Structure 1
Amino acid sequence: MRPRKKTFFSIAFARNLTVSSRQNSKSNPKFPSSSPTPSPPGLNHLKRDHAKLLRSGEILDTIAAGKLISDIAFSGAANLGYARSLFAWIQSPLNTFMWNSLIRGYAHGDDPREAISLYRQMLANGYLPNNYTFPFILKACTRINDPRVGLGVHGTLIRHGFEDFDPFIQTSLVNFYASCGSIEVAQKLFDRSPQRDVTSWNALIKAYIGCCRFSDAIRVFRLMQDRSNARADEITMLGVVSACAHLGALDMGKWVHAYVDRSRMRLTRNLGTALINMYARCGEIESASFLFREMKDKDIRTWSVMIGGFALNGLANEALDLFSEMQSAGVKPDSVTLTGVLSACSHAGLVQEGMKLFDEMRDLFLVEPTIEHYGCVVDLLGRAGELEEALALIKRMSLKPDVMLWGALLVACRVHKNVEIGEMVAKEMLVLDSQNAGAHVFLSNVYAATGKWDLVEQVRSLMKEQKIRKPPGSSSIELDGVVHEFLSGDTSHPQSDQIYRMLNEIRRRAGLIGHRPATGGVPFDIDEEDKEVCITQHSEKLALAFGLLNTEEGTVIRIVKNLRICEDCHSVMQLVSEVFDRIVVVRDRNRFHHFKNGSCSCRNYW
């Protein structure tokens, strides 16, 4: 009987492991994709099993008791207390399998710290962890984001000789170090791994996305295609599509979509929604809308993403129409949906429609306004020049205003050149966040605009002392699947000489039709000619020049800017769309601008 019990234990252990932490197993050749992951048994069924074992006396058998603990722990976080009670009651010798079952349950449950507590008890009681223990405990360390605990676990598994033993441990280590922001360590561990399955590649892609290094995430995906036999799965695609959406890398996003079709990968609701979001955030709103209409299985997230996509691209009427269609289809809007609709109203200046929705959201949709909703309304009023009303709304709201909310009003003050309210708002922001670069820069700009250079110097000296830096303006453009990034005044690109010659040509042609650089926003005490040079070298203009140099006539030029596009760059883009007969699409921090035939989709309301 010994060998049979041992065999049963191994099978139970493997099942426990496979179901709990190998959700990627469909793409692993060891686990055929046709084998669905079994659902955990219900609580009533487990209680009946428990009663049978009690009546037969088999509860005293280590294997039977261990399997029951495992099944209970796997059945859901709400049942972990039941599994823990049974674990404490067991009179037969405990084993590592039982400890692992509980650690796994808590690692994936609501209280991952309890998994770490159990792990420490396990060691204190003389039980040795095995290669199945470490992925679970590292999962818990990743979730609590405590580097010290994870480093200690890493040291333990090195001492036990497990670091290079198991690909699942290596993947868990990559995830842990990535969650701590140590992406270089994660990359080194990945490079050392002798076995890289799809889970390992997904972990590294996810790691780069978590650190906002989206170009690196795409680079890793390309390496996965070129240098491994691992077949991408839905998790891979979700990560790469997300990276494309952030970068505005439309060509790469289209390739990924085609890859999904070629691979006959099922277009799940999650993947379809991610692709819609990618197309919308790349300015390809027609493709996003087409895919939305083609999708049969939509949920509230799918509708909300499409509404938000219309809003981002300045198509307020389309967003409102879809919002009405959604309600007619019986889909109840949630907080995210309403944020998208309010944002659409803000971008188009639909003040009455936006305020009506905001006033009715509690009664009609049973959604309590959040700080995000208030932010949209403040932005709505601020863009329309209703600065006093926006300020009054902030003062009477029940929620405590945060930096983002004040920031929405600060932007409006800058656009409408309201120095009095803007100065007050900037100081409120600095009370909440003394390191806020935007508030410091606003004050510096206000003082510069009124010629108070002594106050400008005070603000800048304070920023220097506190090492406060404004995020540098950067713009990216995709060419043949490669994303090229430019900073303001950048000369590092291999084509830098040609780019600056093209900038001079743009400047010359714009001047011929009466364009004069808008230098009022340059916050430096320098002469007018130097100010003109300064704004001529903004990052979006460099990206534009690069696009004109490297794409054929008629090709749409797509640029992604990390900050709000400035007044002069906006004017130049309009002129280029007319003079060079190009469509130029720019996504800045707030929205899309589609330039065509000398005009912009925002209608200069931005």
Structure 2
Amino acid sequence: MRSNLRLPRSRGSRISLDKFLKSTKNLSKPSPKLWPDDPRPEPIPSDEQGLPILDLRHPLLQKLESSRSVAEFDQIYVQIVVSGLLQYSLAAGRVIKKLCSGFGLCSRAVSVIDSIDEADVFMGNTILRCFVNSNDPLDALGFYYGKMVARCLGHNHYTFPLLTKVCAEIGSVKEGEKIHSLVLKYGFESDLYVRNSLIHMYAVCGRVRDARNVFDGGSVLDLVSWNSMIDGYVKNGDMTVARELFDEMPERDVFSWNSMVSGYAGIQDMEAARYLFERMHLRDTFSWNSMIDGYAKAGNVVLAREFFNRNPKRSVGSWNIVLALYVRVKDYVECLRLFEVMLDEGECKPNEASIVSVLTACANLRRLDTGKWIHSYIRSNGIKPDLLLSTSLLTMYAKCGAVDMARDIFDTMQKRSIVSWSSMIMGYGMHGYGEKAVEMFLEMEDSDDVVVPDVTTFICVLSACVNAGMFLEGWWFFDRMCRVYKIKPGTKHYGCMVDLLGRAGLTKDSEDLTRKTRPLLSSCFTHADTELGRILAEHLIRVNPNDVGHYVLLSHIYALEGKWEEVEGVRRMMNEKNLQIPAMSGAVRTRESKSAATPGTYSSYRERIIYSMLCEMGDELKAVAVSENCTEE
């Protein structure tokens, strides 16, 4: 008889049973993922010996290949590291390849290879290629020696061409010879790919004979071998041997023809260049530009324009060559007209080089309106002016009389060349701002820009002094050019000084300068012509009557001329003003000192110039006095 009695169930037992059923249900579900879209890790299969087998079908590797961003890559990379796949050469190689080829992160790839116990040459070559493609040859060489050689990763026929390319880019024959010796050591000299890279490296470094030895030592040559050797002779100016090889070539491509055409154009043998050009079956943009540029460099405007008009594949380079040619031959009107045609046709968009030529034409034609339009074109098309373009802009504004706009551009330039400074000095001088031109020169000398005034700079500042009638400043700059910067005066420099001296009434010095016999400031004292020193001293006394140095200098000048009554007169003036000569005092203050100028009455820059001149005069006076004493004895 079955008992109908039921055992009571406690509440705690019922809860325990529910938890058990729930946990059983959860265990049947797949394990959670770190990210929703991540592939589920699968166990790595093993071979017959129980060794793990990994191939590209692994979900994580497939996901790695399809990653499109660094953030997505980082997610996959974490899973690869956590799962231990990074220590497998296949997975590590794919990670490094993705970093290098996909994102160009060379340094990140180096950190990955450092974390791998058994790296191989494939990984090293991948990183090496990444540095080369990133135009970082020095880091590429550092990685090779610091990582590949240090860790004994080995070499293969992909390693050496990369290394020779690095040596060619840095121009290091010494390193190239080391790589060549390694090629011989490891037996890769018969590899065609390696041999071609050696030929190229030696040719680029100017070692054509070594390149030819490698070329002649190859039992198998291809089109690249011939082209590399011919290009080496062309780049080193030996067109005779280049032509011999060109005629011996079993086959030619457009590169072969272009090398010869550009080589002949480079040495101005346009007849030979045209002979080969007309026999080319296939011409590209480089072919046409070589002919246009060759005639342009030869100054043959007609033929350069003829080939430009014939060119069916005109690039922006084609337009730039002809625009620059018209500027060089000073046909500025045709340059602007051609630029308008370029804009109307619209086949090529002007670049920085195009605009530089057009701005130069505007500057010389004083076409301010056109220049302003070009400036607005630069801004509206998002062109970021480099140093050359910015200098061309300020030169255009300066020559066209818009000096304030030129100065605005000058002030916004992060880096300035000597041309930039010279253009601003020229702009101020051309339009009557002589003092600003002088201030600009002195500002240039005190600036952080590493620039040194050249022949053109001094022509600009001397012309500014002539236009403004600034005799003292012009004489000082002329002396500074000769004495400090060791620049030999040219015809234009002498022309400026003759004009200045003539206006000041110093005709004797003007005649001497015309004969180019007395280029230095101090020479006026060696010939007993102290008129300039007297003018300076008297002028300074009027400006600053309480400076004892001015009176001392004037007294010395009068003494040198034998005007003893004037000497006594100067001493009486000093006594009346109660001026005393300090002990160990020279005629003037410390050389190049910048004394305080009276605000509103005298420019500090001008006082600096005059004190500098007085220093030189004082030195020369002392030298003359010593010389005369020695003669009397």
TM-score range, shorter chain: 0.5 to 0.7
2: CA distance, partners of 1:368 / 1:106:
39
CA gap of 1:195–1:248, structure 2 versus 1, over 3 A, is: same
Q: Which amino acid aligns with 2:411?
A: R
Task: Give CA-to-partner distance per residue, 1:533-573, whole Å, 9 cap, x none.
Answer: xxxxxxxxxxxxxxxxxxxxxxxxxxxxxxxxxxxxxxxxx
Contact (CA 8 Å) 1:346, 1:383: kept in 2 or not? Answer: no
Q: How does 1:139-288 map to 2 (within 5 A)?
A: 139-144=262-267, 146=268, 149-162=269-282, 165-288=283-406
| Residue-pair matches, total | 353
Provide the rounded CA distance (Å) in 2 between the counterparts of 1:389 and 1:293.
Answer: 39
Contact 1:138 1:176 in 2 (8 A): no
Give the residue type in structure 1 aligned to 2:169: P
* Alpha-carbon separation, structure 2, partners of 1:349 and 1:236: 39
The 8 Å contact of residues 214 and 246 in structure 1, kept in 2 or not, is answered as yes
User: CA separation in 2, counterparts of 1:271 and 1:60?
Assistant: 50
What letter is aligned with 1:390? S
Q: Distance in 1 between matches of 2:225 and 2:510?
A: 59
Query: CA 1:97–1:325 in structure 2 vs 1: closer, same or farther (change >3 Å)?
Result: same
How do residues 390-429 of structure 1 correspond to structure 2 at under 5 angstroms?
390-397=510-517
Secondary structure of 1:232's match? coil
Partner deviation per Cα, 1:1-25 (whole Å, 9 max, x = no partner): xxxxxxxxxxx9xx99x9xxxxxxx
Residue 120 (str. 1) matches residue 243 (str. 2): yes
Separation in structure 1 between the aligned mates of residue 501 and residue 518 of structure 2, nearest angstrom: 18
Deviation at 1:169, TM superposition (A): 0.7
Distance 1:375 1:95 in 2: 63
How far apart, in 1, do the equivalents of 2:372 and 2:333 lie?
Answer: 16
- Which residue of 354, 357, 361 maps to 2:474? 354
Q: Which amino acid aligns with 2:360?
A: S
Q: Is the 8 A contact 1:347 1:380 kept in 2?
A: no
Give the 3-state SS of the residue equivalent to 2:484 in structure 1: helix
Counting strand residues as a fraction of each chain, which structure ranks higher?
A: 1
Q: Which has the higher contact order (CA 8 A, sep 6+)?
A: 1
Larger radius of gyration: 2
Q: Secondary structure at the match of 1:314?
A: coil
Measured in 2, the distance between the counterparts of 1:261 and 1:334 equals 31
Please give the root-mean-square deviation of Cα atoms over the aligned residues, in Å.
3.3
State TM-score, norm by structure 2.
0.50
Contact 1:99/1:118, CA 8 A, preserved across alignment: no
1:359 & 1:301 partners in 2: Cα distance? 22
2:391/2:420 contact within 8 Å kept: yes
Q: What's the offset of the Cα at 1:332? A: 4.2
For 1:208 and 1:279, locate their aligned partners in 2 and report how far apart those are by CA, in whole Å. 21
Residue by residue, what CA displacement relative to the aligned partner does 1:485-535 show, whole Å, maximum 9, x if unpaired? xxxxxxxxxxxxxxxxxxxxxxxxxxxxxxxxxxxxxxxxxxxxxxxxxxx
1:315-330 matches, cutoff 5 A: 315-330=433-448
Distance 1:329 1:61, change over 3 A: same
CA distance in 2, matches of 1:89, 1:379: 65
* Structure 1 residue 313: Cα displacement: 2.3
Once the two structures are TM-superposed, the CA of residue 392 in structure 1 deviates from its matched residue by: 1.5
User: Where in structure 1 are there 5+ consecutive unaligned residues?
Assistant: 1-11, 19-37, 400-606
Distance 1:127 1:383 in 2: 75
Change (3 A) 1:288 1:123: same
**Match of 1:377?**
497
- Residue 132 (structure 1) aligned with residue 255 (structure 2): yes
Q: 2:509 aligns with which of 375, 382, 389?
A: 389
1:41 maps to a residue whose letter is I
C-alpha distance in 2, partners of 1:329/1:289? Answer: 16
2:188 alignment counterpart? 58
2:10 corresponds to: none
Tell me the distance in 1 between the aligned counterparts of 2:180 and 2:390.
43
Matching residue within 31, 35, 40 for 2:169: 40
SS at 1:243 equivalent: helix
| Equivalent in the alignment of 1:87 | 212
In 1, distance between residues paired with 2:401 and 2:180?
57
Distance in structure 2 (CA, Å) of the matches to 1:102 and 1:383: 64
Residue 106 of structure 1 and its aligned partner are, at CA, apart by 6.8
- Check whether the contact 2:360–2:396 (CA below 8 A) recurs between aligned residues: yes
Instruction: Return the alpha-carbon distance in structure 1 between the equivalents of residues 401 and 372 of structure 2.
Output: 13
The aligned residue for residue 339 of structure 1 is 459
Q: Secondary structure at the match of 1:391?
A: helix
Is this contact kept in 2: 1:334–1:367, CA < 8 A? Answer: no
Q: CA deviation at 1:119?
A: 2.8
1:178 and 1:210 in contact (8 A); partners too? no
Match of 2:199 among 69, 90, 102: 69
> Contact 2:316 / 2:351 at 8 angstroms: preserved in 1?
yes
Shift of 1:54: 2.6
Which secondary structure does the structure 1 equivalent of 2:170 belong to?
A: coil
The one-letter amino acid of 1:61's match is D
Give the counterpart letter for 1:309 in structure 2. Answer: G
Q: Which residue of 2 aligns with 1:306?
A: 424
AA aligned to 1:122 is L
Report the CA distance shift for 1:241/1:68 in structure 2 as closer, same or farther (over 3 A): farther
| 365 and 40 in structure 1: CA distance in 2 versus 1, 3 angstrom threshold | same
Contact 1:102 1:115 survives alignment (8 Å): no
Equivalence for 1:475: none
SS in 1 for 2:239: helix
CA distance in 2, matches of 1:182, 1:368: 34
**1:87 is aligned with what amino acid?**
R
Deviation at 1:383, TM superposition (A): 5.6
CA contact (8 A) 2:324 2:357 kept: yes
Between the aligned residues of both structures, percent identity stands at 29
How much has 1:347 moved relative to structure 2? 1.9
Contact kept? 1:332, 1:365, Cα under 8 Å: no
CA shift, 1:134, in A, is 4.6
TM-score (norm 1): 0.52
Distance 2:222 2:505 in 1: 69
Q: CA deviation at 1:131?
A: 2.3
Report deviation, 1:126: 4.7
Q: How far apart are the structure 2 equivalents of 1:220 and 1:97?
A: 39
Partner amino acid for 1:151?
E
Aligned-pair CA distance for 1:318: 0.7
